[in-house]
Amino acid sequence: MLDVIAFQAKSAALLDAADYDRWMEDFDEDCLYQVLSVENLDLGYDLPLLLAKNKNMLRDRILSLREANIYNIHRDRHVLSLPVVTREGDLIKAVTSLVIYQSDQEGISTLFAVGRYEDEIRESPQGLRLKRRDVILDTYGIVRLLSTPL
Amino acid sequence: MQLDTLKRAKDFSSIGYKVFHSEEIYDRERSHIFSGNLWNYVCLDVELAEPGSFITTYIGDIPVLVNRTMDGQLKAFENRCQHRGTKLRREARGKETTHTCVYHQWCYNLDGGLVGIPFARGKDGKGGLPPEFDRSSIKLREMKLATIHGVVFGSFGDDPPKLEDYLGPRVVELIGNLFYKPVKVLGYQRQRILGNWKLYNENVRDTNHGGLLHMFHATFGLARLSQEGGARLDGATRGHNTSYTTYGTDNESQRKDGYSQTKKVMQETFKLADPSILHFERELPGEESLVILSTFPNGVFQQISNSLCTRQIRPRGVDEMELYWTYYGFVDDTPEMAEHRRNQANLVGPGGLVSMEDGEAVQLVHEETKASPEAASRIIIGGLGEIKDSESLVTEMPLRGFWATYFKAMDL
Ligand code: FES
Ligand SMILES: [Fe+2]
């Protein structure tokens, strides 16, 4: 439980620091990372808002973000709840509430997203690793645009 | 309202910024455009498959309720109770045999007729409705509907033209291509864009920005200005636009020539670690790999590679709009194609690799022009004068078609 809390807290802190290279280190090569709308899930649709079906796609997202995409200049700040942790064999499942604020260049912060992580985590010799992270958004009406990973 | 403060050039090559910020204009749009004699994109027929199914949406900012009657007809109404104006259906979608207002329980059937009022005769003959009240005279305000190839359009106007005439034969044919066999909805995306709805209409008709603002496009070759492509303009005043291009129809010297004036856009050295997202499987009757059809005033129909969707533009006041994306595939999609469409959902939408910039661009224009309502834009790329088709992507001619149609509808 404590190690899962520390693991998720570190991951969020790396995002807030925009240190995406180190953030990606916590994912398996064959990971799944996706941002989903709770509206779609309720309707039985798995359409993603953002999808990486493996770590290479995650790398491509970050490359595109750095080199190709234009988006609002901002800082992210994640606030996480304590996780609800269950174990299935070797797999650790953690469901954690999530709030993200974005702050602009004039120092004004706005609530960007409310939702939850549904993580599937495994233990590796190098520490915990994400096999899968679903970011499920209650805030599925995306204000402005979705750029930096959640 | 002084005409020349809005429309600076007769050929619509310059528009005063006030048009994006005036409450007076916004109110006029509600009556002249969204209640006018023209056709708005409403939804897809398959979203209301069964009798009793309903959805709620917005045409302009007018709340609209669409339902399928028990005998299978689609009907649409202003989503407002005829008693004292409460929103009648609050849910985004559902299935019911009647609609009952939460405030005082007036109940309507799926044809929009008033069928029930509690305590209509009061209690013990006291209170209740006046004797002259005629229940059968009360109906929800109906919106006319017309469907082509399963795409539903609506009009609050008294006398709209035939939908096929309004869109024009090329648009009708293109919709036929984009919906050439039975479709199913794959899901929705919603984006709040902090800008006036007309700025998004300009953006989506601006074929010139595709290969410049959306650098992912250019860098990885989904759409470059150096490729073959162009814009087809339809409708009586050229309010509908089809931007199109075909993957891989340019060469290195054309690319270098065009992009040499920019520092950042084209960097041949970038390679995707997983290029599966760029895969294009030819499937539609048309030749193009990218087609963006925008119909005046609120519809967008898109094929970007194998990502198919519609977008509905929903104004939410002068300063804000919702963009409502409906993704679809075909009923007979293979599991591989279903997975590929899911993958390519990455390309568009609020987080799309080739579309996230639009939300930002619209907001930047909106914020800056607010402070300079007396200034005006330059819509000159692609040439002046007659508003016509373009055989190059380097054009903003379709914006002038939008404005010609807009000012005619607004009677300004
Ligand atoms: S406002 Fe709808 S019943 Fe009164
Ligand atoms: Fe765009």
Q: How far apart are CA B91 and CA B26, in angstroms?
A: 26
Q: What is the pLDDT of residue A23?
A: 98
- Beta carbon of B101 within 6 Å of any ligand 1 atom: yes
Instruction: Kindly state the DSSP code that residue A128 receives in the 8-state scheme.
Output: E
Inside any domain, residue B29: no
Task: Read off the pLDDT of residues A10-41 as tens digits, 9 standing for 90 and up.
Answer: 999 999 999 999 999 999 999 999 999 999 99
Residue B309: domain span: 168-409
- End residue of a domain, out of B93, B117, B147: B147
Give the total residue count for chain B: 412
B213 and B143 in a single domain? The answer is no
Inside any domain, residue B163: no
In this complex, which of A35, A60, A70 lies closest to B357 when CB atoms are compared? A70
Chosen for mutation from B47, B93, B216, B354 (greatest number of chain A CBs closer than 10 Å) is: B216
Chosen for mutation from A24, A46, A47 (greatest number of chain B CBs closer than 10 Å) is: A47
Task: Read off the pLDDT of residues B363-385 as tens digits, 9 standing for 90 and up.
Answer: 999 999 999 999 999 999 999 99
Is B147 an 8 Å CB contact of chain A?
Answer: no
Interchain proximity A67–B188, CB inside 8 Å: no
B172 and B115 in a single domain? The answer is no
| Confidence band for B263, pLDDT divided at 50, 70 and 90 | low
Q: How far apart are CA B347 and CA B189, in angstroms?
A: 13
Q: What is the pLDDT of residue B132?
A: 92
Inside any domain, residue B159: no
The minimum CA-CA distance between A96 and chain B, rounded to whole Å, is 22
* Residue B258 pLDDT > 90: no
Q: What is the mean pLDDT of residues A110-128?
A: 97
List B residues 332-391 in contact with A (Cβ-Cβ < 8 A).
342-343, 345-346, 349-351, 353, 356-361, 363
- Beta carbon of B140 within 6 Å of any ligand 1 atom: no
State the average pLDDT for chain B.
93
Q: How far apart are CA B363 and CA B375, in angstroms?
A: 17
Q: What is the pLDDT of residue B228?
A: 86
B240 and B142 in a single domain? The answer is no
| Confidence band for B269, pLDDT divided at 50, 70 and 90 | low
* Residue B397 pLDDT > 90: yes
B143 and B172 in a single domain? The answer is no
B112 and B77 in a single domain? The answer is yes
Check residue B227 and give left, alpha or beta (phi > 0: left; psi -120 to 50: alpha): beta
Instruction: Kindly state the DSSP code that residue B285 receives in the 8-state scheme.
Output: S
User: Which candidate, A95, A136, A117, A124, places its Cα nearest to that of A1?
Assistant: A95
Inside any domain, residue B173: yes
Q: Which residues of B touch A143 (CB under 8 A)?
A: 191-192, 194
Q: Which alpha helices (H) appear in B3-42, and where do they start and end?
A: 3-6, 23-32
| Confidence band for B218, pLDDT divided at 50, 70 and 90 | confident
Inside any domain, residue B26: no
**CATH code assigned at B244:** 3.90.380.10
The nearest alpha carbon in chain A to B92 belongs to A39
B391 and B259 in a single domain? The answer is yes
- Beta carbon of B103 within 6 Å of any ligand 1 atom: yes
pTM: 0.95
Looking at all shown ligands, the one closest to residue B302's CA atom is 2
| Mode of pairing for the β-strands spanning A91-103 and B93-95 | unpaired
Inside any domain, residue B154: no
B389 and B353 in a single domain? The answer is yes
- Spell out the domains of chain A, with CATH numbers in brackets: 2-137 (3.10.450.50)
Q: What is the mean pLDDT of residues A108-125?
A: 97
B333 and B200 in a single domain? The answer is yes
B197 and B260 in a single domain? The answer is yes
**CATH code assigned at B79:** 2.102.10.10
Tell me how many domains chain B contains. 2
Inside any domain, residue B199: yes
As for the ipTM of the complex, it is: 0.96
B77 and B200 in a single domain? The answer is no
B235 and B295 in a single domain? The answer is yes
What lies within 8 Å, CB to CB, of B37 at 6+ separation is: B155, B157, B158, B159, B160, B161
Inside any domain, residue B337: yes
Q: What is the pLDDT of residue B210?
A: 83
Q: How far apart are CA A37 and CA B346, in angstroms?
A: 14
B251 and B114 in a single domain? The answer is no
Q: How far apart are CA A96 and CA B53, in angstroms?
A: 35
* Residue B265 pLDDT > 70: no
Task: For residue B327, give the H/E element and its range.
Answer: strand B321-330
